[in-house]
Structure formats: structure tokens, C-alpha cells
Chains A and B, each alone.
Chain A
Amino acid sequence: MTAEMIEATESKMTRENKTRHMADLTQRSPESYVASIVKDLPPSGIRKFFDIVVGMKDVISLGVGEPDFATPWHIREACIYSLECGNTSYTSNKGLIELREMLSESIKKDLDISYDPEDDILITTGVSEAVDLAFRAVLNPGDEVIVPQPCYVAYVPDVVLAGGVPKVVTTKLLDQFKLRAEDVEAALTKKTKVLLLSYPNNPTGAIMTQEDLEEIADVVVENDLLIISDEVYDKLTYEGKHASIAQLEGMKDRTILLNGFSKSCAMTGWRIGYATGDPSLVGAMTKVHQYTMLCAPVMAQMAAIEALKRGDAEMMEMKREYNRRRHLFVSELERIGLPCFEPKGAFYAFPSIEGTGLSSEEFAERLLTEQKVAAVPGSVFGEGGEGFLRCSYATSREEIMEAVERIEQFLIGQGL
């Protein structure tokens, strides 16, 4: 074809396209293209707070689900060096073998579970991707997933997007927000396939001890369920040692264990996590991963290697500081008369605001507008969250004290 011919053909195509598009525009709004499964997802409950916060000054935030520490410098520096060396390529789908080998060792040391670095471990773009992959890899349309709430906001939408059906079980203050085996049993149907666990828990700060997990494991085995366990806060367990359900007799093969570096190493923005489990399950997740994410960013993988090599000291230092803040915050909440379950893990306190007569959303909204303290209403975290307020203590002690003072003023203003 000559240049003229190409040009003529192209211009004809453009004309045709134009006509077609104009016809479409008259019939459909862009919005109408959105898939109904997405349209029907509830909007995030914290969106509203972003809108209020914009333009506000001197806000103290207890609303953040991430450490206030920057990633330790040696980890950042290792990443910079790795970039200088030109490590900018794809890695294998499963992630760098060096990282998987180190993870295998570190999990063996922490939990005494052996995962083969070759087939049992997948490096993901944050635990968020791992959660999505796990659901997509195991759910057939209509399969039910038991989700204990209050919990992190993504699980239910992730189940729905994977074609599954979430079945919510509520954990209660009365039980220290632990999951009870009888509640799991009551939620079982013929279609139940998966039980989701997330302990230490966001937003309650609850943990499950080995004894607690043993009761759950009995129900799981009896009913042939699969466990997907998000343990991203495992290193931030303040009382006793973290227990994973995968440690229990016979449970390793039934568990997809998810974890990452975000919370323990202050690496939220790096987006680096991992999944471990039976090779068939991790293999299935890898399939989805290779066609979507391809691999986790190599920079973040390099940083994670450094974190595993030399990150322990600073991780423990951060944990000790969180623990001090935990004690400080809980005792201060007590002082101003907000009853609070003593959180055992993660970095959240979950005080009850029921006595104020306000809904958790009203409370959070008015606390923000009147006293400029941002916290997240418990209702955002699903059933059982109403009546509570999630306050992150991943912020400096000075800010915690100032925030408590403002909350006290707010309560006084309410005549409480």
C-alpha cells in the first residue's frame, strides 16, 4: 500500500468509528458499562472521612492502618544499592528464589513449619494480592466463605469478586473478639468451603492462642474446610508468642498462610507479601498471579531480602515502642471513661463508644469536625463493629496524649 492509500483507509476507519461512538453515546452512559458485581460492591466506609479531612488543619490521626515509622534505613539503602546495580528486571513468577529460601528458613524458625521454597511459597504484591489470589484460586461460583467480623474491609469484596459467597460470623467483646468454634459450626452449610482467619486482628487487636485455634481446627477437619489465614500482624503480638493454625497437627495442608512485610517492617508502600501452603494451592494461585501481576516488583523483593537478613533488631525495637503506646493509650482511654478491651496484637485499640448514645459513624464524624481527631467507625469493619471506634496507636506518644485530651473534651461537650 502506498502512503496515500494507508492514509485514506485510516481516515475512513476514523469516520466509521466516530459514527459508531456517537451512536453509542446517545444510548449508554459510561457508567452503564460498569459490571454489576462491581457496581454492587458497597463503597468504602472511610471515603467520607477523606472528604472531611481535606482542607482541615492540625488533624491528629488515629485513623491510619500503617506504622508511623519509615522503613528502616538499611532496608531502603539496600534497595537503592540494588537499583544502582541495575536489578530492574522481571523475576520468576513465584519471586526471587533467594527470598523464598530465606522465607522458608524464617517461617521454620518462627512457626516450626517446613515449606519448600521451590513449590510452597509465592511472593505477592502485598498481602492484599495474596488474599485476592487465594480466593480466586479456590472458589467456584457459589462456594461459601466464613468471614469473622469485625475484620479488615477487603475480605468480603474479595470473596464476592472471586464469585464466592461470604458468610459473616460475628466475634464479640464478651469473648475478647476471639472466634468461637460453635459460631463457625452454626454458619456451616453444604456449600461452605473456606474459613478465613485474620489474627492478630485489625480492627479489634484480638489474638487467637494455640488452644483457641485447636477448637477451630477440630471443626475445620470435621467439615473438610480450607483455611485462608492472613497473619500480617503476627510479629506484633504483645502477650505470648503468635500461634498460627498451620502449626497444628494436620493443619498445614489445609491452610493457605498469608503474610507480608508491611506491618512488621514498616513497609506498607512497598507492596510485598507472600503466600505459603500446599504446592497444588500455591500453584493455583501462581497461575492467576502469572497472568495478572506477573511478579512482585523486584525492588520490593530486594528490600524484603534485606529485611529478612538484618531487620530483626529494628523490628523488635518498633514492637517495643508499639507496646509502650498500647499500654499508654489503653490506660488513658480508661482514665477518660471509654471502656476498651485490652488489645493483644496489631496496633489498634477498639474502645466501646456505646455509652455515648451515638452511632460509631456519628461519633467519628463529630469527633473529626469538632475536635479534629480522625478515627475509624467500627461499623466500617462489618457486623459487630457498631458501637466501637478503631483507633490506631501507630503514632507518636505526644500525639496519642493530645488525641486523648481532645477525645476527653469531646466527651465533656457531649455531657458525658
Chain B
Amino acid sequence: MRDFTKEILEVLEDDARATPNEIATLLGTSEEEVAREIERLEDSGVIRKYMTMINWDKVDDGYVYAMIELKVSLQRDKGYNAIAERIARFSEVQSVRLISGDHDISFTVRGKSMKDVAFFVTDKVSTLKGVESTCTHFVLKSYKEHGVILYDKTRPKRLVVTA
């Protein structure tokens, strides 16, 4: 990957609202060149979506999150993809990953209440063909998401003027 591409992605990963014009200033290049590259990255699927990171815990009507690990028995010819894709189709499911270790698949669920999430798992996931066992971990508090620290930090003081 070219440095130029990487730079654009880094800026956008940090701030989805950065305009091609702003990015061009930061990189010391032209707006057209940046716009063209962004379009290419969008078309090729490198950039999938522009999102906003929200701390739902600060909103009254927040969500409950759970991480669920699955052991599955493999289906002939289909591997893990069939079951992983099936789980991914549920709108409650936020992420689905194939993992190494004790379990095979890990996914996160967002619901309105613990009951919501628990029933989703028992009704929709545990009953799927090939699922051998599930292990549900409810999230109690989130400290860092997507590289962003969510707890309040005090900034150490610097001197205002130094040589």
C-alpha cells in the first residue's frame, strides 16, 4: 500500500467527516487527488462505511451488549462459513468472527435488555444445526472501543512556554 493511501485511511479512520479538501491540506496534496483515491477505495470495498462512534452508556435509553462464543460441528463442504453467515444475518448481531482457541465462533449481540439478548441466544442461535454449545458473556462496562478510551481522563499539564 502506498503511503498516500495509508495516510488517507488513517485520517478517515480517526475522523469520518474529514473532507477531501481537509485531508489534502493535511497531506500537502491536491483535493482532486485525494477525492479520486477515496472514490477508488470506496469502489474497491476498502472503505465500507462512514460511521459515528457513540457512547450509548451516556444515553438514558441505552443498550445491553453480550459476547457469545460458540462451539460448532463442521458441515461437509461448507466449513464454518455457512453457520457464521447465518448468524451474521440477524440484525441484533453486531460482529461475527471465526476465532482460534477453545471456541470456534465469537459474535456480539446488542439488545434492549438482558432478557432480550438471552432469549435471542437460546431461541435463535442455540437451536441452529451444528451448534454444540454456547457461552454468553454480558458486558458490564466498556472502557475502550475502536481505539477510543471511554472513561474520563485528566490531561497532564505541560508548561505553556519552553525553549
Contact = CB atoms under 8 A, between A and B. Distances in A.
Interface stretch (B39-47, B88-96, B126-134, B155-163): B155-163
B156 A327 contact: no
A64 B28 contact: no
A70 B160 CA distance: 16
Which size class do A's interface residues fall under?
A: 20 to 34
Contact of B162 (A63, A68, A70, A331): A63
Given A320-B7, A320-B10, A324-B11, A64 B25 contact: no
Contact of A154 (B156, B160, B163): B163
B161 A328 contact: no
Contacts of B11: 324
A65 B162 contact: yes
B26 A49 contact: no
Given A320-B7, A320-B10, A324-B11, A64 B160 contact: yes
A328 B27 CA distance: 8
A188 B10 CA distance: 49
Nearest to B23: A324
A50 B11 CA distance: 35
A55 to B, nearest CB: 12
Given A320-B10, A324-B11, A64 B159 contact: yes
A376 B160 CA distance: 10
Interface string B129-163: 00000000000000000000000000010111111
Interface in B1-40: 7, 10-11, 25-28
Nearest to B159: A64
Contacts of B7: 320, 324
- By Cβ-Cβ distance, the 4 closest A-B pairs, closest first, are A63-B161, A324-B26, A327-B28, A153-B163
A46 B161 contact: yes
Interface of B: 7, 10-11, 25-28, 156, 158-163
Given A68-B158, A70-B156, A327 B163 contact: no
Given A327-B26, A328-B25, A49 B161 contact: yes
B29 to A, nearest CB: 9
Contacts of B27: 324, 327
Given A50-B161, A320-B10, A325-B26, 10 more contacts: A53-B160, A63-B160, A65-B163, A66-B158, A153-B163, A324-B26, A324-B27, A327-B27, A331-B25, A397-B26
Contacts, number: 54
Contacts of A134: none
A100 B163 CA distance: 28
A372 B7 CA distance: 33
Contacts of A202: 163
B163 A61 contact: no
Nearest to B10: A320
A46 B26 contact: no
Given A324-B11, A327-B26, A46 B156 contact: no
Contacts of A64: 158-162
Nearest to A326: B28
B67 to A, nearest CB: 24
A46 B26 CA distance: 30
A96 interface: no
A363 to B, nearest CB: 15
Interface in A90-149: none
A373 to B, nearest CB: 11
B160 A59 contact: yes
A229 B161 CA distance: 25
Interface string A141-183: 0000000000011100000000000000000000000000000
Contact of A152 (B10, B158, B160, B163): B163
B163 A374 contact: no
B160 A61 contact: yes
A214 to B, nearest CB: 28
A49 to B, nearest CB: 5
A193 B52 CA distance: 61
Nearest to B26: A324
A49 B162 CA distance: 10
Interface in A54-101: 59, 61, 63-66, 68, 70
A49 B159 CA distance: 11
A153 to B, nearest CB: 4
A327 B25 contact: yes
Interface string A313-338: 00000001000110110010000000
10 contacts: A50-B160, A53-B160, A59-B160, A63-B162, A65-B162, A66-B162, A327-B26, A327-B27, A328-B25, A331-B25
Contacts of B10: 320
Given A320-B7, A328-B25, A374 B161 contact: yes
